[in-house]
Structure 1
């Protein structure tokens, strides 16, 4: 900013002349605007609101599932399975509930409603079972393509559910023992056809049904990969084997337990 000051000087024979003096002053810097500080509580409130909504949704789902489980009929079992699948694929209920410390303290069995307990909260027996499932590896019981998956519901009322997998082939092939074990049952039923049941120890049992031939007897010891029968022909003209794995008298999805190098196309 320039400030000019007027002064008068006298000059002989001339009129007074006004002269300006220049005084340079520093220009003040820009004024800083003070922004309001964001408080910690203001950031925390939206997160708490989202968490509250998630908790409310989880609570509603849990109540509905508990009510459905109390009515033990095929239709409600089918509905509970659909809810479990939605929770498994869409979001993690464990993550939401785990953020609230009081949940595990006052209602520790809440997550068990969905069968999705965390390993830390599982009883020792359940932890051992999960470890066995991860460590147990089977070979494919037949060569072919997987046409039926574990848990598929054939009837809307849930009365008919696949407890194993179905392997089909255009050519008749051998049926192989998926692991070392002992044959504990053979026979033929209307729903199963000819079947073979092998006990592998530690609570593991495998079932092979739909065979056209059985080449082992009850009491026979078998090794992994041994030929135990032949695939049977189904109504469509293909050859099919129905394969189940059980752990402690509970069906388990056999597909994740089959070695990747086996000749079964998933």
Structure 2
């Protein structure tokens, strides 16, 4: 799933490539992806792109009339075209959910792979009025987000720290991948209870979170959309690297499989050598 660094990379690219362009077409081919009807999508045609912003994992393209906001979800992506294809998009038979064209023949497609369709597109007057954005927690890279702010968010949270980091209403922009990376950098178990972290643990977690995300954002900066996914993969120490050697200690990175996702960790670095139960395997052995 695209998370803060990749979305920030897309925002930077669109600011440099799309701002000042006129929207010449906006066509949705996946009706389920469009979550709003007022204002209609067609009101974007003829508008000029004035900016691009990120709200957590939402990408917001501002125009002279309205905002085009989208959440790429698990399998969504933005494909930029220097020459927008003229082929007809057939609903239900194409991975393309939305096509947006600009002057000079430029444009992009929002695509979604797989059968589970979660990509969401909104046309709104004010992004702050969207429930998904209005309920977002603080941005962990904001200059205003301090170590004490993090400590306050964790107080009395008797839930696993992995889940807390992924909760968008607690901290915005972090998902499954970067929570793995942050906890590995902090040498902290994904199952550690947030409320039981010591002040020293909070110090370590705060630094790991800020540094991990800042490095990832910097790695994404200036890259075209086609290169962002590979840059993300190259920067991962444990996420999606189950079975490989930990780059810090050399132990084998382990995976835990849940209902709809998995996460990775290093036993030596994070759990004192303890191997966490793989729930998928546990079910098979029953």
The structure whose Rg is larger is 1
The structure whose residues are more often strand, as a share, is 1
Decide: shared fold, TM above 0.5. Answer: no
TM normalised by structure 1 equals 0.20
The structure whose residues are more often helix, as a share, is 2
Select the structure with the greater relative contact order (CA < 8 A; seq sep ≥ 6). 2
TM normalised by structure 2 equals 0.19
